[in-house]
Structure 1
Amino acid sequence: MTREEETAGTSLPTPGTAGALLSDLLWEVSAYVELLGEAMLADLPISTASSGMLMTVYAEPGITVAEMSRRKPRTQQAISQTVARLEKLGLIERRLKAGRGVGLHLTDDGRSMAEQAFDRERSADEQLLGILGEETHDALRKLLIEARNLLRPER
């Protein structure tokens, strides 16, 4: 069925149906994956967004909020708010960098939390693998990586 055939007879595509726009489908699938991830982290004091931030700082100690906002599709304000919450939890600390800027670093508790969160999110990905099957899981990963690379603005 072509895209035109899917939406024939309607003036607008209907989210939640086969005629949904790609953006609607991506949002819906993203929400389901987010719910799975949040369920895996439910007993930890962090969300999937916070977990991603911890893992970024784990991989790149000293990264700044500005550097993160250039790499991720999030504003500096949104990243700063998440960092502030992680600071209040004692998981991240800010340190002056040589020259200008303030780098982000994990505390010992933050490193432990990042490792726990990674293990939980890996379990969520294994659940997705079981639901989707290996072929679909791998194909979806490849398509999303390709789409991210094509859509990411060059900065």
Structure 2
Amino acid sequence: MHNTDRVSNLLGAAALAVTDRTRARVADAADVSPSAAAAVVVLSASPGLGVTELGRRIGLSQSATARMVDSLEGTGLARRAPGAGRLVQVTLTDRGRRTASKVLCARADAVAEVLSGFGGEEMAALEGLLGKLLARLYQGVQNADLLCRLCDRSSCVEGAVCPVGQAERDEAGV
């Protein structure tokens, strides 16, 4: 029998420490806010999103996202362009794409450093546990885009199935 309070406490402390480390590395590498970092990563994977959809994917209101996009435009990371009907599409500039790459590299470096002490069997066990944890977290969030807003999607699906994407498909009955 495991002490659930202890496991909860250990997970909470580890999650906060990894988050703090990741945010610090991303901020240093990209010189943008956490929301802007998420936005450039999302736009690098899904160019041409509207402001409302971008906000949904990064967890901001439409008005907050519009202000953030103004800031991204002001710093030369993104631009708006007319889309179909009244839609205004947001795309990254070359500088924005380089920033997205820096964000993903900084995130990967921060997490790799945390995992560097684990051996192969431990990594395999952790991968399975994290897959289950992410599928469970999806049940509460119900938004794969939001949950994975800073994910390097290619590394998640290379030779495997994304647990969040699978949870989303399972929920939809697909």
Query: TM-score scaled by structure 1?
Result: 0.70
Indicate conservation of the 8 Å contact 1:37/1:48, yes or no.
Answer: no
For 1:1-155, what aligned pairs fall within 5 Å after superposition? 18=6, 25=12, 28-41=13-26, 42-130=28-116, 134-135=123-124, 137-153=126-142
Over the matched positions of the two proteins, sequence identity in percent amounts to: 23
CA spacing shift, 1:126–1:100, aligned 2, 3 Å? same
The separation in 2 between residues aligned to 1:149 and 1:19, in whole angstroms, is 20
CA spacing shift, 1:33–1:19, aligned 2, 3 Å? closer
The separation in 2 between residues aligned to 1:134 and 1:19, in whole angstroms, is 18
Structure 2 unaligned regions, length at least 5: 144-174
Aligned residues: 138
The separation in 2 between residues aligned to 1:93 and 1:105, in whole angstroms, is 6
The separation in 1 between residues aligned to 2:136 and 2:70, in whole angstroms, is 31
Q: 1:9 aligns to what? A: none
Q: More helix per residue: 1 or 2?
A: 2
Indicate conservation of the 8 Å contact 1:129/1:137, yes or no.
Answer: no
Structure 1 unaligned regions, length at least 5: 7-17
The separation in 2 between residues aligned to 1:76 and 1:33, in whole angstroms, is 29
The separation in 2 between residues aligned to 1:101 and 1:30, in whole angstroms, is 37
RMSD of aligned alpha carbons: 2.9
Task: Spell out, residue by residue over 1:109-149, the C-alpha distance to the aligned partner (whole angstroms, 9 max, x if none).
Answer: 11111112211111112123225651464144313320232
Task: Spell out, residue by residue over 1:61-119, the C-alpha distance to the aligned partner (whole angstroms, 9 max, x if none).
Answer: 11112113334443323433332322221101111112121111001111111112211
When Rg is computed on C-alpha atoms for both structures, the one with the higher figure is 1
